[in-house]
Chains A and B, each alone.
Chain A
C-alpha cells in the first residue's frame, strides 16, 4: 500500500515537472523525492518504474484520444514494431518506467550511507 502511495506521489510530481521542465527533469525529481522521503531501497526501483510506466502510458493515451491520428502507427514503423500501436504504448511505458525506476533507486540508495 505504501508503495502505491509513493508511486502516486511520483506520478503527480512527474506530471508537473514534465509540463514545465525538460524531459529528464522527471528522473532527477524522482531521485530527489526518493531521497527526501527515504524510500525503502528494496522496492524503490519498482515504485519508480510503476510511476514512470503509468505516467507515460496514460499521458500518451490521453494525447492519442485528444488528437486521434495515424502518427502512432507510423511511429510503430519508424521503430521496428511492425506498425503495432499497442507495442508502441508498451515501449513508451517501459522507457518511462526504466528511466524513473533507476532514478528512484539512485535517490533511495544515496540516502543509505
Chain B
C-alpha cells in the first residue's frame, strides 16, 4: 500500500509525459513542441546580413564538389560538374528549403493524407486513388525511366533529397512535422512522378460531362447545344485566325451513336477552381532592344510554401534560371543564354466518362463491343493515423478505373457514379524529357523537339529565342475524337465511343513568327473552328486573352517594364461590354441602387484595389447569373448541372431579349429581361450592404475580394497571409482572386551576347520555414505589381553585391 502511495506521483508524471509527447486531435504534442531544445523555438532563422558566409557540407554520392551561392532573395545558384551532381544538388537544396511541402504534396497526390491527419483525410485519399493517381504515376514513371537523362535526373534528385533527410535530427525537423507530429520518410523517384501527375489533377481534371448529361436529359440536345455552344460568342483564339496549316490532317473517327446516359444524383455542390494563366512573347520589331521579350504568369492556387522555387542550374551544357517545382528535377518555366519559355494551361477535353455495364454484382466482367470482358482489380491499402488500415478495391475496364460504383457517394459532385474514367493522366509519358531539353535548348528546333515528348497536362508553350524567333505550341497528347465526343457522358458498351488514338503531335496547333508580331495565350480557345480536329468545347472565358491581344496589337517600343505593366493590367473588358447593356435595363431604382449605379457610371472600368465600382460590377455579374439561371439550372442539387457561361449571357442580353430563359420559373408572374436585371441589381446592392454596410470605402474591391495566400494545412491562418491589397480578378489579366492568382511572374529579354535580362516574383518566398525571413518576403513586392531583378550568373566566383551565402557541397 505504501509503495503504491509513493509511486503514485510517478504514475502521474509518466502519464503527463505521455500526454505531452502525443497529439490529441488537432492539438500538437505540447511538451515536445514547446521544449526550447526540441520544439518550434529551434525553427527561428535570423535574416542574413553583413558579409557573405561560407560553409562546406558533406554529401555522400557526389562525383565532384558542387558550388552553391545564394542571393539576397535566397535563390540558390548551383554550379556542378555533371548532370548527376546537378540534380543531386537540386534535390538536396530544394529539400533544405521545402522538405515538408514536397512530402505533403506527394502524400496528397498519392492519397496518403490520412496517414498524417487521420480519418478525416480518407475521403480525399480514396478519391485520389480511385481517380488512378498512383496508377498514372506508375505508368508515367515507366516512360520516364526509358530516357537515360530523365532516369539519372530522378535518381540523383532522389538521392539528394534523401541525403538531406538523413542529415536531420528530430530537433531540426521543419516546423510542420513538429506541429503534426510525424517524421519524413525516404524520398523515391516515383514521388516525382506523382507530383507531375498531380499537375494533371490540378489543371486537367475539370469535368462537366455529368452536369451536361443532366442538362441533356432535362432539356434535350437542342437546348443543351444552344445554351452551351462549342465556340464562344466573342473570342480571340490563341492561334491567330487565318494562320497557315502546315500538315495534312488524319481522318477523324466516326461519331458514336447518340447516348443520353443515366445522368446521376449527388449531394454537395462544389465550386470550380478559378485557375488559368497568361503568357506571351513579342518579336524584336516591336521592342526597344530589337530582341524578343517573353512574359509568363501561371495562375494557380496561392499557397505557402509557394508552389514555385527559384533556382539557377549550371553544369556542362546547361545554364538555366527559372522556377522549379519542389519535388521534380529541372526548371519548369525559365530561360537560358539563348531561349526563354513559359506555359499556360490548355482547356482541352482529355477526361471522359464511360457508363459501365457490369455482368453481375461481382463486377468481374463488363459488356463492351458485343462481348463480356474481364475487369482488372487493383487493391489499395490506406494507412490511417490512429486507426486500422483500410483496404479498397478499384475495378478497371480497358478505359480506366471505375471511380465510384453505382451505390457509392462521390467525393465531388461532378464525378458520375458507375462510370469508368478515361484520362490522359493515365498514359505512359515523358514530361521530364521535355523540361530537360528545354533547359538546354538553343533555338526553335530544340524547343520543337523537346515538346514532342510532352503528354499532360497539355500546355500552351510560349517561346522566344535570341535568334529572333517567337513561337507558341498548344502542346500535349490530345485524343483523336469525333466532334463533341465526350461533351456528355459516353456509352461504355459502344466501341465506337472509345478514344481512337491520338492527334499526331506535329498537328498540334502552333504558330511561329506571326505577322502580328506577337504570340499569346490566356487559356482561351486554342484555335478558331477551322482547325481540323476537335479538342474540346469549353475553354476559359475569353476576356483575358482578348485584353492581352488588344493591348499587344497596339503596343510599340515594348520594354520589359511595359510588359510588367501588362501583367498587372486591371482593366475590366467585360464591364466595358456589359455595363451599357445593363444600364439600359435599369428601371426606377431606389436610393441605394441609384447610388450604386452612379458609382458604376463614374467608374474607370479598372479593377484597382480601392475601386468600389469593381466590387459592385463583379458582384452584379454573380447575382445576374444567379437570377437568370438558378431557376432552370440548379433547381435540384441532387441533379448537378452546368450553368451557361457569361459569354452566352451577354449574347442573350444583346440578341435574345425575349428568350424563354429570362422568366423566373419559380414565380407565377412572367418576368422580362429588365425585371431580371433589376432583380439582380437589388440582390447585388442588398448583399453588399449586408456584408460591408452602406456604400463607401468599405466596399473597396480588395476588401470584398479578400485575396489570401494560404498555408497548405487547411485553416492554418497563422502561417498564411490574408487580405492582401491587390486588384484584378478572374477575368482580368491580373488574375488575382480570393484563393488563386499569378503564382509566378516572369519577364525575360533575350540577348545576342547570351546575357539575358530577367525579372520575376512569386507570392511567397524561397524558404518553406515560417520562421525564416524568406518565408513570405516576396508577397508585398508581388502585391504591388513589382518584379525583382533575377541574378543570372556565369560562374560561382562572379562578384555581385547581392550574394549572401556560399555553400560547397563535397563528397
**Residues on A facing B (Cβ under 8 Å):** 18-19, 22-24, 26-27, 31, 56, 59-60, 62-64, 66-72, 74-75, 77-78, 91-92, 95-96, 98-99, 102-103, 105-106, 109-113
Say yes or no: is B21 at the interface (Cβ < 8 Å to chain A): yes
Quick one: given A71-B770, A110-B9, are A60 and B41 in contact (CB under 8 Å)? yes
Q: Which of B2, B13, B36, B179 contacts A106 (CB 8 A)?
A: B13
Q: Which residues of B contact A111 (CB under 8 A)?
A: 6
Q: Which of A71, A96, A110 contacts B10 (CB 8 A)?
A: A110
**In the complex the two chains form, what is the Cα distance from A75 to B45 in whole Å?**
14
Shortest Cβ distance from A17 into chain B, in angstroms?
9
B46 engages A69 (CB within 8 Å): yes
Q: Which of A64, A74, A102 contacts B12 (CB 8 A)?
A: A102
Quick one: given A71-B43, A95-B30, are A109 and B37 in contact (CB under 8 Å)? no
Query: Residue-by-residue, is B764-778 near A (CB-CB < 8 Å gives 1, otherwise 0)?
Result: 000000111101000
A110 engages B44 (CB within 8 Å): no
Shortest Cβ distance from B177 into chain A, in angstroms?
14
Shortest Cβ distance from B371 into chain A, in angstroms?
59
Shortest Cβ distance from A71 into chain B, in angstroms?
4
Q: Which of A64, A71, A74, A95 contacts B31 (CB 8 A)?
A: A95
Q: Which residues of B contact A22 (CB under 8 A)?
A: 38, 170
Residue on B nearest A41 in the bound complex, by CB:
B9
Say yes or no: is B719 at the interface (Cβ < 8 Å to chain A): yes
Shortest Cβ distance from A87 into chain B, in angstroms?
13
Shortest Cβ distance from B39 into chain A, in angstroms?
7
Q: Which residues of B contact A92 (CB under 8 A)?
A: 34, 36, 41
Residue on B nearest A73 in the bound complex, by CB:
B718
**Residues on B facing A (Cβ under 8 Å):** 2-3, 6-10, 12-13, 16-17, 20-21, 30-32, 34-46, 170, 175, 179, 716-719, 770-773, 775
B35 engages A96 (CB within 8 Å): yes
**In the complex the two chains form, what is the Cα distance from A63 to B45 in whole Å?**
9
B37 engages A23 (CB within 8 Å): yes
**Chain B interface helix/strand/loop/mixed:** helix
**In the complex the two chains form, what is the Cα distance from A23 to B44 in whole Å?**
18
Residue on A nearest B11 in the bound complex, by CB:
A106
A18 engages B37 (CB within 8 Å): yes
A99 engages B31 (CB within 8 Å): yes
Residue on A nearest B43 in the bound complex, by CB:
A71
B6 engages A56 (CB within 8 Å): no
Q: Which of B17, B170, B717 has the most CB of A within 10 A?
A: B17
B34 engages A95 (CB within 8 Å): yes
B718 engages A60 (CB within 8 Å): no
What are 27 sample pairs from A and B whose C-beta atoms fall under 8 A apart? A23-B35, A23-B37, A23-B39, A56-B35, A59-B41, A64-B44, A67-B45, A67-B46, A70-B770, A70-B771, A71-B41, A71-B43, A71-B44, A75-B718, A91-B34, A92-B41, A95-B34, A96-B35, A99-B17, A99-B31, A102-B16, A103-B13, A106-B9, A110-B6, A110-B10, A111-B6, A113-B2
**In the complex the two chains form, what is the Cα distance from A25 to B179 in whole Å?**
20
B12 engages A106 (CB within 8 Å): yes
Quick one: given A78-B718, A110-B6, are A102 and B13 in contact (CB under 8 Å)? yes
Question: Nearest 5 CB-CB pairs, A to B?
Answer: A77-B718, A18-B37, A71-B771, A59-B36, A106-B9
**In the complex the two chains form, what is the Cα distance from A88 to B161 in whole Å?**
34
Residue on B nearest A75 in the bound complex, by CB:
B40
Shortest Cβ distance from B586 into chain A, in angstroms?
45
**In the complex the two chains form, what is the Cα distance from A19 to B719 in whole Å?**
28
**In the complex the two chains form, what is the Cα distance from A22 to B38 in whole Å?**
8
Q: Which of A23, A78, A91 has the most CB of B within 10 A?
A: A23
Q: Which residues of A contact B9 (CB under 8 A)?
A: 102, 105-106, 109-110
Q: Which residues of B contact A63 (CB under 8 A)?
A: 36, 41-42, 44
Residue on A nearest B10 in the bound complex, by CB:
A106
Q: Which residues of A contact B46 (CB under 8 A)?
A: 66-69
A31 engages B13 (CB within 8 Å): yes
A69 engages B773 (CB within 8 Å): yes
A112 engages B36 (CB within 8 Å): no
A110 engages B7 (CB within 8 Å): yes
B771 engages A69 (CB within 8 Å): yes
Shortest Cβ distance from A20 into chain B, in angstroms?
9
Q: Which residues of A contact B12 (CB under 8 A)?
A: 102, 106
Residue on A nearest B769 in the bound complex, by CB:
A71
Shortest Cβ distance from B327 into chain A, in angstroms?
25
Shortest Cβ distance from A110 into chain B, in angstroms?
5
**In the complex the two chains form, what is the Cα distance from A103 to B20 in whole Å?**
13
Residue on B nearest A112 in the bound complex, by CB:
B6
**In the complex the two chains form, what is the Cα distance from A24 to B21 in whole Å?**
8
A109 engages B6 (CB within 8 Å): yes
Q: Which residues of A contact B7 (CB under 8 A)?
A: 110
Quick one: given A75-B40, A78-B179, are A56 and B45 in contact (CB under 8 Å)? no
Residue on B nearest A31 in the bound complex, by CB:
B13
Q: Which residues of B contact A102 (CB under 8 A)?
A: 9, 12-13, 16
A78 engages B34 (CB within 8 Å): no
**In the complex the two chains form, what is the Cα distance from A60 to B771 in whole Å?**
14
Shortest Cβ distance from B786 into chain A, in angstroms?
22
Quick one: given A24-B21, A69-B773, A78-B179, are A99 and B16 in contact (CB under 8 Å)? yes
Shortest Cβ distance from B209 into chain A, in angstroms?
42
Q: Which of B39, B716, B772 contacts A69 (CB 8 A)?
A: B772
A60 engages B36 (CB within 8 Å): yes
Quick one: given A23-B39, A69-B771, A74-B719, are A56 and B34 in contact (CB under 8 Å)? yes
Task: Given A23-B32, A106-B13, output 5 extra A-B contacts at Cβ < 8 Å.
Answer: A22-B38, A67-B44, A92-B34, A96-B34, A109-B6
**In the complex the two chains form, what is the Cα distance from A22 to B39 in whole Å?**
11
**In the complex the two chains form, what is the Cα distance from A60 to B716 in whole Å?**
23
B770 engages A74 (CB within 8 Å): yes
Shortest Cβ distance from A83 into chain B, in angstroms?
8
**In the complex the two chains form, what is the Cα distance from A72 to B44 in whole Å?**
8
Residue on A nearest B14 in the bound complex, by CB:
A106
Shortest Cβ distance from B165 into chain A, in angstroms?
19
Q: Which residues of A contact B32 (CB under 8 A)?
A: 23-24
**In the complex the two chains form, what is the Cα distance from A95 to B34 in whole Å?**
8
Residue on A nearest B170 in the bound complex, by CB:
A22
Q: Which of A19, A78, A110 has the most CB of B within 10 A?
A: A78
**In the complex the two chains form, what is the Cα distance from A96 to B773 in whole Å?**
28
A95 engages B36 (CB within 8 Å): no
**In the complex the two chains form, what is the Cα distance from A62 to B46 in whole Å?**
13
Residue on A nearest B7 in the bound complex, by CB:
A110
Shortest Cβ distance from A36 into chain B, in angstroms?
15
**In the complex the two chains form, what is the Cα distance from A23 to B41 in whole Å?**
13
**In the complex the two chains form, what is the Cα distance from A69 to B10 in whole Å?**
38
A59 engages B37 (CB within 8 Å): yes
Q: Which of A24, A77, A78 contacts B17 (CB 8 A)?
A: A24
**In the complex the two chains form, what is the Cα distance from A75 to B43 in whole Å?**
11
Shortest Cβ distance from A67 into chain B, in angstroms?
4
Q: Which of B7, B40, B716, B773 has the most CB of A within 10 A?
A: B40
